[in-house]
Amino acid sequence: MGLNVIILGGPGAGKGTQAALFALSHGLSKISTGDILRQGVKDRLPKVLLVKEKMDRGELADDDTIIEIVQDRLGRSDTSRGFVLDGFPRNVAQAHALDSIMEKRAKGALLIVDIVVPNEELARRLSSRRICSVCGMNAEPLQDPKAACQRCRGVFVSRTDDTEAVVLERLRIYSDETKPLVEYYGDRPTFFTVDGKQAPEQVALELNNLIDTAAARSSTVVMEAQGEANR
Ligand code: AMP
C-alpha cells in the first residue's frame, strides 16, 4: 500500500522542510507545487509563465493549471509507493480534485498533517527567509548570511514573493482559501495537527510518529477487511 502524505500549513510553517525530511527518510518523492512552478519559470515553460504574475503578487495560480501539473506528476512511476505533497491542495476545489485522483489510483488513504503556526510568527519567519538560488533549499535561520548552500554551493537569496506586501497577501489568501481545508479534512481519521512553533527536529519527530502510526493502523484495517472478504 502507498504512503500518501499531504503536509498543510501557512507560508513559512515549515511544510517544505518537513516534507523533504519525511520523503527522504521514507524513500518517497516530495512533490512541491511551488518548486515545480519556480522551476517552470526558470525553464520558461509557456503554461507556467502565464501564472508568474499571480505568483509574484502572492496570489494562487489557477486551479486548472495546478491540478493538471499534479495529475501529471502523480502519474509518474516514482509515486507508485506513495508521495509527500507540499503546497497542494491550497483550496477546497483542489482537495476535491485530489480525492478524485486518489479514487482512480486506489493505492491507500491520504494521510494529512497540518503544521499549525500563528500568523504573526509566519510573517516574522517569512521576512527573514532565504533560499538557495540554485537548488531552492531553505537556509538555516541563524546561518551566516554570506555562507553558500551546503548542498550545491549556490548563493542564498530572498524569495521574490517574501517582500512585506506580498507576504501580507499570501497570509490573507492562506486564511481565506487554504485554512478551510482543515474543515474539509478535519473529520477524517487520517487528519492530524502538529505544533509548528516547536524546533524543526521536534516537529519532524512528531510528524513521523503520527504518520507511521496512522499508516500501520490503516494497513491493519485493510488486511482485516481482506481477511473478512476471503472468509
Ligand atoms: P509555495 O512555494 O508553496 O509558497 O508557492 C509559491 C507560489 O506558487 C504561491 O504563492 C502560488 O502563487 C503558487 N502556488 C504553489 N502551489 C499552488 C497551488 N497548489 N495552487 C495555486 N497556486 C500555487
Judged against a pLDDT cut of 60, whether residue 222 lies above it is answered with no
Q: If DSSP codes are grouped into helix, strand and coil, which group holds residue 29?
A: strand
Q: What are the pLDDT digits (tens) for 184-210?
A: 999 999 999 999 999 999 999 999 999
> Percent of the chain scored above 90 by pLDDT?
69
CB 105 within 8 A of CB 126: no
Please, what is the Cα angle at 25 between 157 and 86, to 5 degrees?
50
Closest Cα to atom 15, ligand 1: which residue?
34
| Structure confidence at residue 136 as a pLDDT band (50, 70, 90) | confident
- Ligand 1 contact, 90 CB (< 6 A): yes
Q: What are the pLDDT digits (tens) for 32-55?
A: 999 999 999 999 999 999 999 999
What's the pLDDT score for residue 207? 97
List the one residue out of 167, 3, 180 whose CA is nearest residue 85. Answer: 3
Judged against a pLDDT cut of 90, whether residue 89 lies above it is answered with yes
Using the atom order of ligand 1, give the atom closest to the CA of residue 51.
12
CB 167 within 8 A of CB 123: yes
Residue-wise DSSP of 114-154? EEE--HHHHHHHHHT--EETTT-PBPPTTS-TTPBPTTT-P
Residue 108, amino acid:
G
In the numeric block, which cell numbers belong to residue 122? 509566519
pTM of the model: 0.86
Closest Cα to atom 2, ligand 1: which residue?
34
Structural domains for the chain: 3-128+161-229 (3.40.50.300)
Q: What are the pLDDT digits (tens) for 115-132?
A: 999 999 998 888 888 888
- What mean pLDDT value characterizes the chain? 90
What's the pLDDT score for residue 34? 94
What's the pLDDT score for residue 150? 87
Question: How far apart (Å, rounded) are the C-alpha atoms in residues 93 and 109?
Answer: 19
Query: Distance between the two ends of the chain, CA-based, in angstroms?
Result: 22
By most ligand atoms within 8 Å of CB, the mutation choice from 60, 69, 72, 125 for ligand 1 is: 60
